[in-house]
């Protein structure tokens, strides 16, 4: 549907990433239909894989999709951290309730297949937003797509990632570059591999890398380091990792990188929003809000960006669902600003703490040139601080209310 056509939706979600799809699933569970607009032609699984901690699995339980993934991926119970400089190896234990690394594609597909096929509209890039007052304090969000289409919606949720157009419209401060970048990829061993089901991490001055088996033949690996973006062809990125960034890493890591599935390799700057911008910023305005990276972009050092996007989805679904229940099964537009406000109140501090914890975790683990930062990492971090920060993943965002199906107002 292109051109001048105007339609009116209950909820429009911008972005079919983890936050957008999970929010659409949460809303479907409480009887609210959402239209998801995605700029790409299909689901994007950039980043290859991600690790989901207990909080993410609790959120996926609430969304009713965790079983689809737990049957394909084994839990990770422990890992090791090797200091490249000293050769010291430390053990890290993961929470027993379950930590699993999953293909991004599998997670996104598990969410998308819960939705009616016409609820995701691809090749639909949000260009601009307006808010039209309706009187009595209510307003309508007007969404303009790049192809000229205009869609009106009673609620608009920006799940459009780190460079969110919706966050910009709300006046949220731009995310900033942490000064670090990361390369991520899958590696494929056609004959199978003999590695244990463990994360093997390697730390060096200004560098941190790891690999983890996804199944009998595939690995997820990453390397985070100081510096700007690396550009170029996949082969060139792989070569730079092998010859420049990880040339002094153990052969076991280099072997995994040599088995890279080049179609999955990507390199990204690590961005975050200052936590005080999340605490004091406008995370909502009337019936318009943001979720996932659009709200709280964070560095990946606690593996919480995706998990917290799933939490956002459940919390938003709960507040909208409770409003529907209160109104006897009806989606009452006038009550949505309050539901969204309650969602923002519940998520603001959680988002800000995860951004802060992730930043600290990255800063210590990537141990710069200063002796005391290295001391903190090598002597204290994995023994004492990691457990405390990992406690942030022991979070239960709660459930969705049971809603009997209602009609629109």
- Single out the residue of 10, 38, 114, 378 in contact with ligand FAD (rule: CB under 6 A): 38
Q: Which of residues 232-271 bind ligand FAD (CB under 6 A)?
A: 268, 270
Residue 165 sits in the site that holds ligand FAD (CB under 6 A)? yes
Q: Which residues of 271-298 are buried (b: 16+ CB within 10 A; e: fewer)?
A: bbbbbebbeebebbbbbbbbbbbbbbbb
Residue 214 sits in the site that holds ligand FAD (CB under 6 A)? no
Q: What is the DSSP string of 341-397?
A: HHHHHHHHHHHHHHHHHHHHHHHHHT--S-HHHHHIIIIIIIIIIHHHHHGGG----
- Single out the residue of 238, 309, 356, 361 in contact with ligand FAD (rule: CB under 6 A): 309
SS3 of 126, please? strand
- Single out the residue of 20, 175, 213, 317 in contact with ligand FAD (rule: CB under 6 A): 20
Closer to ligand FAD at the Cβ: 182 or 324? 182
Residue 300 sits in the site that holds ligand FAD (CB under 6 A)? yes
Pair 42, 117: CB distance under 8 Å: no
- Single out the residue of 31, 47, 175, 286 in contact with ligand FAD (rule: CB under 6 A): 47
Distance, CA of 298 to CA of 184 (rounded, Å): 16
Task: In angstroms, give the least distance from the CB of 120 to ligand FAD.
Answer: 10
Pair 277, 173: CB distance under 8 Å: yes
Residue 304 sits in the site that holds ligand FAD (CB under 6 A)? yes
Closer to ligand FAD at the Cβ: 17 or 357? 17
Residue 44 sits in the site that holds ligand FAD (CB under 6 A)? yes
Distance, CA of 103 to CA of 347 (rounded, Å): 26
- Single out the residue of 11, 12, 13, 16 in contact with ligand FAD (rule: CB under 6 A): 16
Structure tokens belonging to residue 316: 């938003």
Strands (E), 238-301: 266-272, 284-285, 288-290
H helix runs in 64-114, sequence order: 66-70, 104-112
Contact partners, residue 117, CB within 8 Å, separation at least 6: none
Task: In angstroms, give the least distance from the CB of 122 to ligand FAD.
Answer: 9
Residues paired with 25 in a beta bridge: none
- Single out the residue of 79, 213, 305, 351 in contact with ligand FAD (rule: CB under 6 A): 305
Task: In angstroms, give the least distance from the CB of 159 to ligand FAD.
Answer: 5
Element (H, E) at 211: strand 207-213
Q: Contact letters (x/-) for ligand FAD, 320-359, by CB under 6 A?
A: ----------------------------------------
Residue 301 sits in the site that holds ligand FAD (CB under 6 A)? no
Residue 50 sits in the site that holds ligand FAD (CB under 6 A)? yes
Residue 17 sits in the site that holds ligand FAD (CB under 6 A)? yes
Closer to ligand FAD at the Cβ: 18 or 140? 18
Contact partners, residue 60, CB within 8 Å, separation at least 6: 52, 66, 69, 310
- Single out the residue of 303, 351, 357, 362 in contact with ligand FAD (rule: CB under 6 A): 303
Residues lying near ligand FAD in the complex (CB under 6 A): 14-20, 37-40, 44, 47, 50-52, 125-126, 159-161, 165, 182, 184, 222, 268, 270, 292-294, 300, 303-307, 309
């Amino acid at each position: 549907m292109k051109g001048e056509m105007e339609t009116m939706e209950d909820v429009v979600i911008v972005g079919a990433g983890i936050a957008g799809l999970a929010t659409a699933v949460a809303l479907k569970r409480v009887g609210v239909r959402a239209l998801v607009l995605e700029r790409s032609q299909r689901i994007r699984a950039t980043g290859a894989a991600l690790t989901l901690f207990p909080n993410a699995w609790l959120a996926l339980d609430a969304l009713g999709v965790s079983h689809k993934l737990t049957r394909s991926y084994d839990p990770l119970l422990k890992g090791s951290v090797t200091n490249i400089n000293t050769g010291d190896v430390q053990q890290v234990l993961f929470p027993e309730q379950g930590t699993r690394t999953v293909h991004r594609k599998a997670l996104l597909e598990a969410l998308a297949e819960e939705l009616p096929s016409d609820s995701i509209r691809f090749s639909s890039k949000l260009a601009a937003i307006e808010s039209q007052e309706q009187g009595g304090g209510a307003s309508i969000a007007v969404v303009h797509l790049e192809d000229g289409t205009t869609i009106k919606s009673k609620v608009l949720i920006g799940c459009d990632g780190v460079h969110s157009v919706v966050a910009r419209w709300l006046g949220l401060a731009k995310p900033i570059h942490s000064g670090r970048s990361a390369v991520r990829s899958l590696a494929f061993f056609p004959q199978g591999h003999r590695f244990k089901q463990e994360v093997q991490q390697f730390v060096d001055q200004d560098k941190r890398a790891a690999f983890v088996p996804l199944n009998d033949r595939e690995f997820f690996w990453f390397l985070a380091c100081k510096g700007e973006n690396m550009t170029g062809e996949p082969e060139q990125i792989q070569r730079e990792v092998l010859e420049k960034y990880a040339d002094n890493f153990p052969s076991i890591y280099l072997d995994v990188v040599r088995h890279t599935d080049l179609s999955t390799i990507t390199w990204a700057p690590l961005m975050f929003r200052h936590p005080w911008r999340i605490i004091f910023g406008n995370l909502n305005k009337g019936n318009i809000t943001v979720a996932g990276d659009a709200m709280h972009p964070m560095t990946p050092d606690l593996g919480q960006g995706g998990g917290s996007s799933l939490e956002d989805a459940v919390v938003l679904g709960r507040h909208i669902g409770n409003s529907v229940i209160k109104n006897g099964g009806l989606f009452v537009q006038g009550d949505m600003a309050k539901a969204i406000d309650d969602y923002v109140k519940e998520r603001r501090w959680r988002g800000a703490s995860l951004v802060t914890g992730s930043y600290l975790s990255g800063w210590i683990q990537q141990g710069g040139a200063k002796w005391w930062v290295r001391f903190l990492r090598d002597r204290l971090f994995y023994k004492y601080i990691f457990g405390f920060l990992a406690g942030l993943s022991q979070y239960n965002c709660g459930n969705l209310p049971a809603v009997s199906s209602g009609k629109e107002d």
